[in-house]
Amino acid sequence: MRGPDRKNWHLPDNARIAVSVNLALEAFRNKSQLTLESRLGKVDHFSLSYAEYGARAGVWRILDLLDELDLKASMSINGKAAELYPQAVRATADAGHEVVAHGWENDILNEDGDPAKELDEIRRVTAAITEAAGTRPYGWTSPGSAGSENTLDLLAGEGYIWNGDQANDDLPYSTTTKHGPMMILPRVNMPQNDLIMWAKSHNPPSVILESFKDTFDELYQEGIKGSPKWVEIVLHAHMGGRPTLIPTIRRCIAYARQHESVAFVRKGDLARWAGQLEGLSL
């Protein structure tokens, strides 16, 4: 499972598996991921209030959990969320978590045919997060991972070093852009994503724990055989930050910690590590 182009691949301290926790603090224009409104074009105020829970309560509960577990995470932040909730963003950065740019509004996507507009948005998002956090983001994941054909070139030109809009590999890898290399951190989080596995699917929280264990066990065995991999847990502040899901995430981390040689990493740190193995200066 190593592949011909990954002969040099290994994890820090030769860990058998890497685990990262990715958070999302999001803001929306018309409606969030969960909606009760069926009329096209109608602003769903209930759905927007559901998303606002993330800033009012959810993010603080998640930050408390991470502090309890002594874990450092990466938080994808919409520019509008940074503007609306600067205290939450600053608390995230001050606690040592990585801030990651996540578009301006989570329900508004960029088109392939307007790179100038997308560049303006990237700069606006970067400025909003930097002002709120006191440090700039170097990673970017588009809303819904739905970047345009121009996204990677534009991000590299603005000093970003990694992007999370792909789902085509188990491990980080580099790609070329008009402005130099960009590390890709593929989405390895589908079975442990609160939106996919809990909120939209109406599964009980235990499904996330079961899928985490199965994924972790398989990848851990690959690591023992000399081909270490990476698994991620994704928590949206307005979903995973609800009390229903917190005990499940606590159990996931406890399960991982029952094993030897597990590296808990922020995504930006993993991107830099992978780039270093490829001889890149990021």
One DSSP character per residue, 47-109 reads HHHHHHHIIIIIHHHHHHHHHHHT---EEEE-HHHHHH-HHHHHHHHHTTPEEEE--SSTT--
pTM, 2 dp: 0.93
Q: Can you tell me the distance from the alpha carbon of 107 to that of 275, in angstroms, rounded to the nearest whole number?
A: 31
Q: pLDDT tens across 163-173, in order?
A: 999 999 999 99
Strands 173-177 and 180-184: antiparallel
Q: pLDDT tens across 106-116, in order?
A: 888 888 989 99
In order along the chain (282 residues), what is the average pLDDT of each group of 10 residues?
A: 70 96 93 76 85 96 98 97 98 98 91 93 98 98 92 98 95 96 89 77 87 95 95 93 95 97 98 95 80
CATH topology of domain 12-277: TIM Barrel (3.20.20)
